[in-house]
Amino acid sequence: MSVLPAPLQPVRPAFLTRVTPVARLVAGMAWLVASIVTLDPIVPVRLILAAVVALVLWSGLPLRRIPGRLAPLGLAIVSLTAFSILLSSSNGDRSVAAVVTLGPARITGPAIAAGLAVGLRVGVIALSTLLVFGPSDPTRMADSLVQQWHFPDRFAYGTLAALRVAPFMAGDWGTIGAARRLRGLQPRSPAARLRETGGRLLAMLVATIRRAERLALAMDARGFDSGIRRTHFRELRTTWRDWLTIVVALAVAAAALALPR
Amino acid sequence: MTTDRGGRIALESTAPPSIEAAGLCWTYAGRSRPAIEGLTFRLEPGRVLLVLGPSGSGKSTVARALAGLVPHVLPGTWQGVLRVGDLDVAETPARLLGERIGLVFQDPDSQLVMSRVDDEVAFGLENRAWPREAMQARVPVALAQVGLSGFERRGTMTLSGGEKQRLAIADLLAAGPGLLVLDEPTANLDPAAMRATFEQIAALARVRRHTIVLIEHRLEAALPLADDVLLLDDSGRQLAFAPADAVGPEAVRLLERNGAWVPRAWQGVEAARTNETGAAETRRATEAGPLLLEAAHIRIAYPADESGTHLAIDGVSIAVRAGERIALVGPNGSGKSSLLFAMTGLLRPDAGTVRLRALPRDDEAGEPMRDPARLRAGEIAARIGLVFQDPELGFVARTARDEVSAGARAMGRGRGRDAHDDHGADGVLAHFGLGHLAAENPFRLSQGEQRRLSLAALALRPPAILLLDEPTFGLDRRGTEAVLRLLDDLRAAGQAQILATHDPRLLPACERVVALDAGRVVFDGSPDAFLAAPPYRPAAPWRDGVALAITSGTAAVAGAAGSR
């Protein structure tokens, strides 16, 4: 019984679903770098706008479900921004005029700018991750890494298999917690709670290792990693779409950095 | 697959091989006793071999040896000779064996590797370096062979249990092996999916293009497919190898003595009749005890996705009285687990109420019905317990003894360790046949021992209501009987028991059957009425599955529905 929400998957064909995953990875990295090389909050704002346009027009993802999925992260970004502003060292700089003064606490303009820059960068990371990984399933990412970047099969498909075990871990974690509560274990003190979590982790680890062993045996039985050079059922080739995506992403990153305010 | 010098691929299966074992013996690294010992037989090409034996008899090890996982992947000591066709297993690299042999495992969720159906079928072909065009031609053919045409783009996790097992068979057929090894392929399936899987295997057996080795507990379905039978005892020694129709009464006695399931076809009519009377007696009408649990109009939704909201449970109401034993049945995904969790209060229903209470003592009117979600953990434990299909998920202690006393301690008369509880725990362990394992780590016990320990853990302070998810999963006859005897003991004090199960053989051991389908109750009544007209389409697998019924607390192996 899983409580995980269904993964976001493209619901219609779109430009980015036909771009190979490694090209999207390069594009995403470009934006990531652009958003962290400067402290000016205008750069992440521009990148976020570009990312939203790309998500709406070219990702093929179900747009109505995206806000719900990003909501917890949005909350984290807001609190991160607020704390960055409140705790900024430039608040203590008496030579800068305070924007807000609350008793002994004062907040300066530079503090607000720095805080916004931190929060907005996390926003860029979240949205570009969605653009990199959202338009295709993890299998295509593994295919792409192996075929285009010549990652070892063992690493790429091994990781993929591990990803398949992950949802079961979430299920097991819930089941184990339920089992322990039903057995009457309800730790009160922090120490007891820590011990309890340790026991729960151990049980989950055992379950996960057993599952992984079974999966590894099944993969061995089907000839995985037996020393033969694997072939590929689904061919991924670099196309003009990949180059276009990378060039546009680089251009957007450059524009976000260089355009006058 | 065979590759000639030009690198072209022959898509036909390799010819079915013979299997020849001589003094075959395997000991897993770190074990003192061999898992299988002295296997000596010859199976002719194209025949179907059924491997029979109780839990722990090394049946799975036979499967692993045929696929070369033993000795090439798993560590251990190999003796004797095993030949598949002209290949000596011990001396042939695993990848060469892999081209001739396909293996299907028990658990569908831990043998599918890829997230899309077509990628999944292609995975084994990629590993064997098939050219892309050959794979593109082969994948749809293999899917068609198991009736999964059109499933290419489906996610493997969205398939039902039966579809997953058929996909696993397609995976192995794709590579065109001459030998198919199926290790309890229907263990996780509901009766209808089990029937469909057996029909699939029967269809493969009929064309005689494969040698097939089948390991199965569900003998009524498996035996008609078998040409030959290999019998193992509980320490992995060969008891017999014979044509399936030539298995005599000695072999049956051997199996019974070793605790394996025995097909009804092999038993005398006399024995079956005696046992049916026994069944009628044990299924005495229990007088209605006080109400212990009442669930009303429960609705539980799955997390929403693109296709909208789906209900796991859609308006279920159920009342449970003291001393009742209820079988909760339904196809995979019909909501059994969700309902069990809702009853414990750990899963809050989206609508509806659950109320439960402890067993009233004789001199009391009983406490009022309460919402389990509002009870403290200690209070819940006295009222309701849940035994999981995988007992490991429920273990909380380092030793079997602590496992038994932990629950009682948590329910909290004394704080800390209590000599009285330890003493009680040893008594309980002895009663559950685990006395010699008191100091053992629960995770190191065998499957059957773990199941018994999970029940023992609830015995010192038995909850008023006991929920069990597939309580006999993977157990042989001896293990199943042991579990039922223990349940009888627990029930004697008035405990209500709900068994969620796929195994129709358990139905005659219950007084009441509640059947779910797509989150609704479609039947609530006696096992006889259920078996007379199962509320499912097709109904036959549910009706016939009971043929190997065992009755509560007796060693009977008979069919309540057997006379049909």
HEC string of B149-173 equals CCCCCCEHHHCCHHHHHHHHHHHHH
**A68 at B interface, C-beta within 8 A:** no
Average pLDDT, chain B: 81
- Please give the span between the terminal C-alpha atoms of chain B, in angstroms, as a whole number: 46
Share of chain B above pLDDT 70, in %: 83
User: Tokens 């043998």 belong to which residue?
Assistant: B111
User: Is the model more confident about B336 or about B475?
Assistant: B336
Average pLDDT over residues B498-502: 91
How many domains are contained in chain A?
2
Q: Residue B258 maps to which CATH number?
A: 3.40.50.300
Q: How many domains does chain B have?
A: 2
Task: Give the nearest partner residue to B303 out of A5, A175, A179, using CB atoms.
Answer: A5
Note whether A207 and A151 are same-domain residues. Answer: yes
Strand partners, B517: B520
Confidence check: pLDDT of B277 > 70: no
Asked, for residue A226, whether it belongs to a domain, the answer is no
Q: Is residue B523 part of a domain?
A: yes
Same domain, B236 and B118: yes
- Residue A24, domain member (yes or no): yes
Tell me, yes or no, whether A231 lies in a domain: no
Task: Please list the alpha-helical segments (H only) found in B319-390.
Answer: 336-344, 377-383
Minimum mean pLDDT among A143-147, A194-198, B252-256, B292-296: which range? B252-256
Instruction: Out of A161-170, A240-249, B411-420, B544-553, give the one with best mean pLDDT.
Output: A240-249
Indicate if B453 and B533 belong to the same structural domain: yes
pLDDT tier, B266 (very low <50, low <70, confident <90, very high otherwise): low
* Structure confidence by residue, pLDDT tens digits, B202-222: 998 998 889 999 998 777 778
Residue A58 domain flag: yes
Listed in sequence order, the residues at least 6 apart from A75 whose beta carbon sits closer than 8 Å to its beta carbon are none
Give the span between the Cα atoms of A120 and A126, in whole angstroms. Answer: 10
Give the helix/strand (H/E) hosting B292.
Answer: strand B291-301
CA distance linking residue B313 with residue B324, whole number of Å = 23
Nearest to B55 by CA among B234, B208, B192, B213: B234
One domain for residues A203 and A180? yes
On the question of a cis peptide bond just before residue B93, with omega within 30 degrees of 0, the verdict is: no
The pLDDT, as a whole number, for residue B49 is 95
Is residue B561 in a domain? no
The residue-averaged pLDDT of B88-112 equals 85
Asked if B163 and B238 sit in the same domain, the reply is yes
pLDDT mean over B287-301? 87
Alpha helix ranges (H) inside B376-513: 377-383, 400-411, 419-431, 447-456, 477-492
- Asked whether residue B154 falls in the same domain as residue B198, the answer is yes
Instruction: Supply the pLDDT for residue B284.
Output: 45
Which of A61, A202, A222 is the best mutation test for B, with the most CBs of B within 10 A?
A222
Query: Quick check: B460 pLDDT over 90?
Result: no
Residues B119 and B162 both lie in one domain: yes
Is the minimum CB–CB distance between A220 and chain B shorter than 8 Å? yes
Q: Are A19 and A101 in a shared domain? A: yes
B228-232 and B325-329 beta bridge pairing:
unpaired
Residue B106: give the domain boundaries. 2-8+47-66+95-266
ipTM over 0.90: no
Q: Which of A62-71, B1-10, B544-553 has the highest mean pLDDT?
A: A62-71
| Cα–Cα dist B250/A194, whole Å | 57
Count of other CB atoms within 10 angstroms of residue B21:
25
**Which of B131, B306, B378 has the CB atom closest to A62's CB atom?**
B306
Q: Which of B105, B130, B341 sits opposite A1 (nearest CB)?
A: B341
Answer whether residue A227 is part of any domain: no
Is B211 in the same domain as B103? Answer: yes
pLDDT at B445: 83
Do residue B193 and residue B122 come from a single domain?
yes
- Residue B321 maps to a domain: yes
- Is A195 near chain B, with CB under 8 Å? no
Please tell me the distance in Å from B328's CA to the nearest CA on chain A. Answer: 17
Mean pLDDT of B236-255: 78
Helix or strand run (H / E) with residue B40: strand B36-43
Q: B547 to each of A110, B263, B330, B376, how far by Cα in Å? A: 80, 9, 18, 44
- The answer to whether residue B309 scores a pLDDT higher than 70 is no
Look at residue A233 and tell me if it is in a domain.
Answer: no
Whether A217 and B69 lie within 8 Å, measured CB to CB: yes
Does residue B348 belong to the interface with chain A, where contact is any CB pair within 8 Å?
Answer: no
Distance CA B258, CA B496 (A): 32
Alpha carbon distance B561, B531 (integer Å): 7
Q: Do A182 and B410 touch (CB under 8 A)?
A: no
Nearest CA to B329 out of B190, B201, B508, B433 is that of B190
Contact call for B377 and A184, based on CB within 8 A: yes
| B56 and B150 both lie in a single domain | yes
Give contacts of A175 with chain B, Cβ < 8 Å: 388, 393
Give the separation between CA B229 and CA B213, rounded to whole angstroms. Answer: 10
DSSP H helical ranges for B37-184:
59-66, 69-72, 94-100, 117-127, 132-145, 161-174
| Same domain as B217, residue B307 | no
Sheet of strand B520-525, all strands in order from the earlier edge strand to the far edge: B384-387, B465-469, B496-500, B325-329, B512-517, B520-525
State whether A129 and A247 are in the same domain: yes
Q: Does B276 fall in a domain? A: no
The pLDDT of residue B285 is: 43
CB neighbourhood size of A75 (10 A)? 10
- Would you call B519 an interface residue with chain A, using a CB distance cutoff of 8 Å? no
pLDDT attached to residue A69: 82
**What torsion, rounded to 10 degrees, do the Cα atoms B421, B426, B428, B431 define?**
-160
Q: Per the CB < 8 Å rule, is B381 touching A235?
A: no
Token code pair at residue B99: 């081209």
| Contact: A180, B396; criterion CB under 8 Å | yes
Q: In the 8-state DSSP scheme, what is residue A52?
A: H
Q: Do A219 and B338 touch (CB under 8 A)?
A: no
Residue A82 and residue A192 in one domain: no
Residue B95 contacts A where some CB pair is shorter than 8 Å: yes
pLDDT band for position B280 (cuts 50, 70, 90): very low
Decide if A1 and B306 are in contact by the 8 Å CB cutoff.
no
**Residue B385 carries which side chain, given as an amino acid letter?**
G
Bridge partners of B37, per DSSP, are: B237
User: Which helix (H) or strand (E) segment is B213 a member of?
Assistant: strand B211-215
Statement: residue B564 has pLDDT above 60: no
Q: Indicate the pairing of strand B512-517 with strand B19-28.
A: unpaired
pTM for the model: 0.80
Are B501 and B392 contained in the same domain?
yes
B389 and B497 part of one domain: yes
Other Cβ atoms closer than 10 A to B446: 12
Q: Which residues of B fall within a CB distance of 8 Å from A234?
A: 119, 122
Q: How far is A253 from chain B (nearest CA, A)?
A: 33
Whole-number percent of chain A with pLDDT over 70: 97
Residues A26 and A150 in one domain: no
Instruction: Tell me, yes or no, if A154 comes closer than 8 A to chain B by beta carbon.
Output: no
> Is there a domain that residue A196 lies in?
yes
pLDDT band at B561 (very low <50, low <70, confident <90, very high): very low
Tokens 């042989």 sit on residue: B476
Which residues, in sequence order, are CB contacts of A210 under 8 Å at separation 6+? B392
Its domain, for residue A198, covers: 143-221
Alpha-carbon distance of B95 to B481, in angstroms, equals: 42
CA nearest neighbour of B341 among B289, B298, B397 = B298
As a whole number of angstroms, the distance between CA B550 and CA B530 comes to: 17
Kindly state whether residues A125 and A31 are assigned to the same domain.
yes
Q: Which amino acid is at B73?
A: V
SS3 B2: strand
Q: Is the pLDDT of residue B276 over 50?
A: no
Q: How confident is the model at residue B546 (pLDDT cuts 50, 70, 90)?
A: low
Measured between CB atoms, does A146 come within 8 Å of chain B?
no
**Tokens (6 digits) for A98:** 């305070």
Distance (Å) from the alpha carbon of A33 to chain B's nearest alpha carbon = 32
Distance from CA of B380 to the nearest CA of A (A): 6
How far is it, in rounded angstroms, from Cα B220 to Cα A8? 44
Per-residue pLDDT of A184-198, as tens digits, reads 877 778 888 888 888
Closest CA to B463 of B358, B548, B544: B358
Looking at the fold, whether B294 and B319 belong to one and the same domain comes out as yes
Nearest CB neighbour to B129, from listed A1, A62, A228 = A228
Q: Is A159 helix (H, G, I), strand (E, B) or coil?
A: helix
Count Cβ atoms below 10 Å from residue B86 Cβ, excluding itself: 9
Q: Are residues A128 and A242 in the same domain?
A: yes
Range with lowest mean pLDDT among A150-164, A197-211, B374-388, B469-483:
B469-483
Q: Say if A8 falls within a structural domain.
A: no
Q: In this structure, is the dihedral angle defined by the CA atoms of residues B236, B242, B244 and B245, taken in order, positive or negative?
A: negative
Is A98 found in the same domain as A31?
A: yes
In this complex, the residue of A6, A231, A235 whose CB is nearest that of residue B129 is: A231
- Distance CA(B142)–CA(B176), nearest Å, equals 9
Q: Alpha-carbon distance B116 to B165, whole Å?
A: 15
Residues A202 and A116 in one domain: no
pLDDT of B303: 66
**Of the candidate ranges B13-22, B35-44, B274-283, B312-321, the one whose mean pLDDT is the lowest:** B274-283
User: Pairing between strand B228-232 and B48-52?
Assistant: parallel
Residue B1 has pLDDT above 50, yes or no: no
Neighbours of B273 (CB within 10 A): 13
pLDDT at residue B271 is higher than 80: no
Residues of chain B in contact with residue A235, where contact means CB-CB under 8 angstroms, are 132
| Tokens linked to B355 | 């109320």
Sign of CA dihedral B369, B372, B376, B379: positive
Q: To the nearest whole angstrom, how far is the Cα of A28 from the nearest Cα of chain B?
A: 24
- Selected for mutation to probe chain B from A144, A201, A209, A226 (highest B CB count within 10 Å) is A226
Using the beta-carbon criterion (under 8 Å), do B110 and A211 form an inter-chain contact?
A: yes
Same domain, A67 and A100: yes
Q: pLDDT band for B142, please (50, 70, 90 cuts).
A: very high
Q: Do residue A128 and residue A65 come from a single domain?
A: yes
| CB pairs A-B closer than 8 Å | 180
Q: What is the mean pLDDT of residues B518-534?
A: 90
Which pLDDT score is estimated for B305? 57
